[in-house]
């Protein structure tokens, strides 16, 4: 037993130096970065942000220590006329830093002088501008809550209801009891007027007396009430949307207008994209910026000019999303072009880059990168109401169905009322039921000329 304890103690004594050596062999990397919200920010003597959290996760996975410093000249890195690189890329090239972790765009020029990992974030090029730079209201914008098909359906429902009221008022004995001597008040023109008044909640008398006519009117009132509620709800929502009424919805709109100035960050990869593009629209944008000298020296300057108005700032979509989340008066347009990625830069040929790329992919698959994005891009603005799409006929198909059933039931009741009265008159007059019904129909469905003649006779009697 004593021999066994002695062996264990000797083994532990031998392993302690090995552990110390392993700890001492952990690489101590020099990391260069640039201060940019929310990637890297100062918090007292420490740094925090998306890139710092990402660096911490990578260090845990690959077991390395690191020291972080801010790039001396405050630049990302671009090549001058002599071929020398400045910024973070320059520090990595000169081996003043082992890695550069920042929103560094993966480009062919940078890939030639430094090694780049797999992208840890995808971005593109978009436009930032004020929300109140919007289109003037159109003359017929009040029609936008409903689609064209829905308006056609509403017109058809309106005409169908007016015709049904007119027909029911003629057929129903409860509505028109003496067609030989009385004038029918529900002419087609009055039915149109009555239906329009009911739709606008104004009312127009006289109202139907028969049950069949009242059923049709009540169904139309319900239809009109729901229709107006949907209309005003969608109208207020569509008028309250900002990002979908922007005068500039994309780069084509930006190139074709003259009222808004636009520019991008001087010496940035975004500027290089437009400069090297063969797309006619993008070339026009670059030539305009070069002619107007509308470049900005920093991201903060671009944001400030956009907030002042009448200026559209072109930049990385991810960075613009953050700006829009922090400055509620600004909005990023939906169009994104030139998709590219943000990568970590390292010394050309460094074996560390392969391990970093694998670790980045593992973090992405585990959802860690998405979590970091949601953590640092949290918006301080109230969410805008989504743009309301025009109501389609299928959205109101329930109300159209109820209206159709109401019209059908009203007409059916009017026919039943007429047949019941005709059957009763046939028994009293000892005539054929078909004959009495045919006479009733001929009297009720006669042309308006007879009514006009009767009306003229009544007027002459009144004058006499």
| pLDDT value for 93 | 93
| pLDDT value for 119 | 93
State the Cα–Cα distance between residues 78 and 84, nearest whole angstrom: 8
CATH topology of domain 141-240: Helix Hairpins (1.10.287)
Q: Residue 261: in which H helix or E strand, if any?
A: strand 261-264
DSSP 8-class letter at 388: P
457 band by pLDDT with thresholds 50, 70 and 90: low
Q: What is the mean pLDDT of residues 51-60?
A: 94
Residues annotated in the binding site for L-glutamate, as ranges?
103, 105, 110, 269-270, 316
pLDDT digits (tens, 9 = 90+) for 152-191: 999 999 999 999 988 888 888 887 777 767 777 788 888 8
Residues annotated in the binding site, as ranges?
103, 105, 110, 269-270, 316
| pLDDT value for 15 | 45
Residues of the chain with CATH 3.40.190.10: 24-120+343-381, 123-134+245-340
State the Cα–Cα distance between residues 435 and 439, nearest whole angstrom: 6
Written as six digits, the tokens of 196 are 């329009």
| pLDDT value for 390 | 66
For the chain, the C-alpha Rg in angstroms (whole number) is 39
**Whether pLDDT at 21 is above 60:** no
Q: What is the mean pLDDT of residues 309-331?
A: 89
State the Cα–Cα distance between residues 245 and 138, nearest whole angstrom: 11
Q: CB-based contacts of 129: which residues, under 8 Å, 6+ apart?
A: 246, 248, 260, 306, 311, 312, 313, 330, 331, 333
Write out 143-197 in H/E/C secondary structure. HCCECHHHHHHHHHHHHHHHHHHHHHHHHCCCCCCCCCCCCCCCCHHHHHHHHHH
State the Cα–Cα distance between residues 138 and 452, nearest whole angstrom: 45
**Whether pLDDT at 450 is above 60:** no
Mean pLDDT across the chain: 81
pLDDT digits (tens, 9 = 90+) for 365-384: 999 999 998 899 887 776 55
13 band by pLDDT with thresholds 50, 70 and 90: very low
**Whether pLDDT at 279 is above 90:** yes
| pLDDT value for 11 | 53
CA dihedral 245, 251, 256, 259 (to 10 degrees): 60
Contact status, residue 335 vs residue 285, Cβ threshold 8 Å? no
Architecture of domain 123-134+245-340: 3-Layer(aba) Sandwich (3.40)
Which has more pLDDT, 395 or 356?
Answer: 356
CATH topology of domain 24-120+343-381: D-Maltodextrin-Binding Protein; domain 2 (3.40.190)
Give rounded-to-5 percent helix, strand, coil for the chain.
Answer: 55, 15, 30
Select, from the ranges 224-233, 356-365, 379-388, 396-405, the one with the highest average predicted confidence (pLDDT): 356-365
Angle between helices 50-62 and 352-365 (to 10 degrees): 110
Contact status, residue 283 vs residue 316, Cβ threshold 8 Å? no
């Amino acid at each position: 037993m004593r021999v066994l304890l002695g062996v264990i103690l000797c083994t532990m004594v031998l392993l302690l130096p090995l552990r110390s050596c392993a700890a001492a062999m952990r690489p101590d990397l020099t990391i260069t970065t640039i201060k940019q919200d929310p990637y890297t920010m100062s918090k007292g003597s420490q740094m925090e942000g998306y890139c710092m959290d990402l660096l911490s996760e990578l260090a845990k996975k690959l077991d390395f220590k690191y020291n972080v410093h801010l790039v001396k000249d405050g630049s990302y890195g671009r090549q001058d006329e002599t071929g020398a690189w400045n910024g973070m890329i320059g520090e990595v090239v000169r081996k003043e830093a082992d890695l550069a972790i920042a929103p560094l765009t993966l480009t062919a020029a940078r890939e030639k002088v430094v090694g780049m990992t797999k992208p840890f974030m995808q971005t593109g090029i978009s436009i930032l501008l004020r929300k109140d730079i919007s289109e003037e209201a159109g003359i017929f914008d009040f029609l936008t809550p409903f689609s064209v098909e829905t308006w056609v359906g509403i017109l058809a429902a309106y005409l169908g209801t007016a015709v049904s009221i007119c027909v029911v008022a003629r057929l129903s004995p409860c509505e028109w009891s003496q067609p030989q001597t009385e004038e029918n008040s529900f002419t087609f023109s009055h039915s149109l007027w009555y239906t329009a008044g009911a739709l606008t909640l104004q009312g127009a008398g006289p109202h139907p007396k028969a049950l069949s006519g009242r059923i049709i009117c009540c169904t139309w009132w319900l239809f009109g009430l729901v229709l107006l509620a949907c209309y005003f709800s969608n109208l207020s929502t569509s008028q309250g949307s900002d990002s979908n009424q922007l005068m500039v919805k994309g780069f084509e709109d930006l190139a074709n207008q003259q009222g808004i100035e636009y520019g991008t960050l001087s010496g940035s990869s975004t500027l290089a994209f437009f400069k090297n593009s063969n797309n006619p629209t993008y070339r026009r944008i670059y030539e305009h910026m070069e002619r107007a000298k509308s470049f900005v020296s920093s991201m903060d300057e671009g944001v400030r000019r956009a907030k002042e108005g009448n200026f559209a700032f072109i930049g990385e979509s991810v960075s613009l999303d953050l700006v829009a989340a922090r400055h509620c008066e600004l909005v990023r347009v939906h169009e994104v072009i030139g998709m590219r990625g943000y990568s970590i830069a390292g010394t050309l040929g460094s074996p560390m880059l392969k391990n970093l790329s694998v670790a980045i992919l593992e973090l992405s698959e585990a959802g860690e990168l998405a979590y970091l994005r949601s953590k640092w891009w949290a918006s301080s603005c109230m969410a805008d109401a989504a743009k309301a799409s025009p109501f389609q006929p299928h959205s109101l198909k329930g109300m159209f169905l109820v209206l159709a059933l109401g019209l059908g039931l009203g007409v059916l009741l009017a026919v039943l009322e007429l047949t019941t009265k005709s059957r009763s008159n046939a028994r009293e007059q000892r005539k054929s039921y078909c004959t009495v019904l045919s006479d009733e129909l001929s009297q009720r469905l006669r042309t308006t000329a007879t009514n006009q003649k009767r009306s003229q006779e009544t007027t002459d009697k009144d004058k006499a």
